[in-house]
Amino acid sequence: MFPTDPISNLSALIRCPSVTPAEGGALSALEGMLAPLGFTLDRVMAREAGTPDIENLYARLGTEGPHLMFAGHTDVVPVGDEAAWTHPPFSAVIAGGEMHGRGAVDMKGGIACFVAAVARHIEKHGRPKGSISFLITGDEEGPAINGTIKLLEWAAQKGERWDACLVGEPTNPDNLGDMIKIGRRGSLSGRITVHGVQGHAAYPHLADNPVRGILQLTQALMDPPFDTGTENFQPSNLEVTTIDVGNAAVNVIPAKASAAFNIRFNDRWTAESLKAEIVARLGRAGKDGALRPGRDPVRYDIVWNERPSHVFLTRNNALIDSLSGAVEAVTGRRPKLSTTGGTSDARFIKDYCPVVEFGLVGQTMHMVDERVAVADLDTLTEIYETFIARWFGHAAA
Ligand SMILES: [Zn+2]
């Protein structure tokens, strides 16, 4: 009855076709595992105009502190070309020592292992001296508006407080034990539009070609580099992701040109200081670029993406040491503490408590034939179980 086996937990979850925004039975399956362990279950529906309604789950075991949260998502990305899969994507077939299925590593596998770890802990030691909760969203792979943010707000409003959080997203590049994420870079996007004057390509003095302006401005965004990296982070990096003119006529100078960019930034910057730097660079490049000699400054506007992701770095030794110690005890390898990669829901959780991330090997996530080594499920469960014991030991001390 106790869900101590990560393999059967995962196969139950994979069989639920929970492609965002569909619940697909996945939260119900998880509730079925947590109820016998004594968890109090709350299904939280989140709504917002213009986005699909999303079901989320908050489950808590215990009422006292210290309080450890496990965060994750049961939604999965679409399967793509179903015919291209070696085994049907929602069938959880085990072949060649691997379990196949959408969500196997991202991240139903992490959830299956953490449930098994909690079940084993209770079986061996009884309930932990403190509380464990699951914060599970159905909206991580979608717009992420009706997921973790709203669930955290809902829980905090009813008085929930946490001392630490583990996010079970896949974090290991090659082998289980490679990498723990202890922070994430920030992400900021914007679009510049340069306004020119349309005209005949043979009479450029009567026109003002915005292509010259957009090249000057985008050049200034890419060079020089923003920094050379910091103690815990890679160098900040800006990529111009598109330049759009949409002009079909070779003999016409277009009226406007625009470009979009995305920057992944480290802890030398905030979204605000970075915006100021970019505005200053554009101001200078608009005035003295080499492509428009003798012209007035480039006329342009810039629109920022409304919701930048803020950079964060977790400095909480009880949490980081419990986790990296558990990884080393089980795998014999010391994991790298990293801040690389894209953003995750940890960026929302860090406003409530210290957060780290550790899960499966991420190589097949979002791909056709997403799959996980069955041996990794056992190992990750052992790591999580060791982590739970160590963290409650630390936190209670
Ligand atoms: Zn994920």
- Cα(362)–Cα(170) distance, rounded to whole angstroms? 5
Ligand 1 center to residue 19 CA distance, Å?
12
From the list 139, 145, 161, 146, the residue with the least C-alpha distance to 60 is 161
pLDDT, averaged across the chain: 96
For residue 317, the CA-to-ligand 1 centroid distance in Å is 25
Q: Of 336, 335, 337, 326, which is closest to residue 379 (Cα–Cα)?
A: 326
First to last CA, the chain: 33
What pLDDT was estimated at residue 389? 96
For residue 83 the two structure tokens come to 């015919």
> What angle do helix axes 6-14 and 26-34 make, rounded to 10 degrees?
150
| Euclidean distance between CA atoms 12 and 16, whole angstroms | 7
Using alpha carbons, select from 259, 254, 247 the residue that is nearest to residue 222: 259
Query: Rounded distance, CA 323 to CA 321, Å?
Result: 5
pLDDT score recorded for residue 342 = 85
Residue 384, pLDDT above cutoff 90: yes
Neighbours of 161 (CB within 10 A): 12
Cis ω for the linkage preceding 69 (within 30 of 0): no
Query: Is pLDDT above 60 for 228?
Result: yes
**Euclidean distance between CA atoms 271 and 281, whole angstroms:** 15
Least Cα distance to 381 among 182, 168, 100, 172 occurs for: 168
pTM reported for the whole predicted model: 0.89
Extended beta strands in the chain, E state:
40-48, 51-61, 67-73, 94-95, 98-100, 131-137, 164-167, 179-181, 183-184, 186-195, 199-200, 237-244, 252-253, 256-265, 299-304, 312-313, 336-338, 355-357, 371-373
Confidence tier at 72 by pLDDT (50, 70, 90):
very high
Cα-to-centroid distance, 73 and ligand 1 (Å): 7
How much distance in Å is there from the Cα of 169 to the middle of ligand 1?
5
Given a cut of 80, whether residue 333 has pLDDT beyond it is yes
As a whole number, mean pLDDT of residues 19-39 equals 97
Give how far Cα 251 sits from Cα of 202, 204, 248, 289, 300, Å: 7, 11, 9, 24, 23
Residue 395 pLDDT exceeds 90: no
Q: Is pLDDT above 60 for 387?
A: yes
Sheet of strand 98-100, all strands in order from the earlier edge strand to the far edge: 94-95, 98-100, 371-373
Distance 87 CA to ligand 1 centre (A): 21
In which band, very low, low, confident or very high, does the pLDDT at 343 lie, cut at 50, 70 and 90?
confident
- Which residue from 313, 309, 360 is spatially nearest to 339, judged by alpha carbons? 313
Q: What's the DSSP call for residue 334?
A: P
Residue 204 has pLDDT above 90, yes or no: yes
The strand order across the sheet containing 186-195 reads: 237-244, 256-265, 186-195, 299-304
Residue 29 in 3-state DSSP? helix
CA of 105 from ligand 1 middle (Å) equals 8
- Going from the C-alpha of 147 to that of each of 17, 49, 59, 347, the distances in angstroms are 18, 14, 15, 13
pLDDT band at 176 (very low <50, low <70, confident <90, very high): very high
For ligand 1, the distance from its centroid to the CA atom of residue 171, given in whole angstroms, is: 10
Residues labelled catalytic: 75, 140
What is the 208 CA–ligand 1 centroid distance (Å)?
A: 47
Confidence of residue 396 (pLDDT cuts 50, 70, 90): low
Q: Has residue 397 got a pLDDT over 70?
A: no
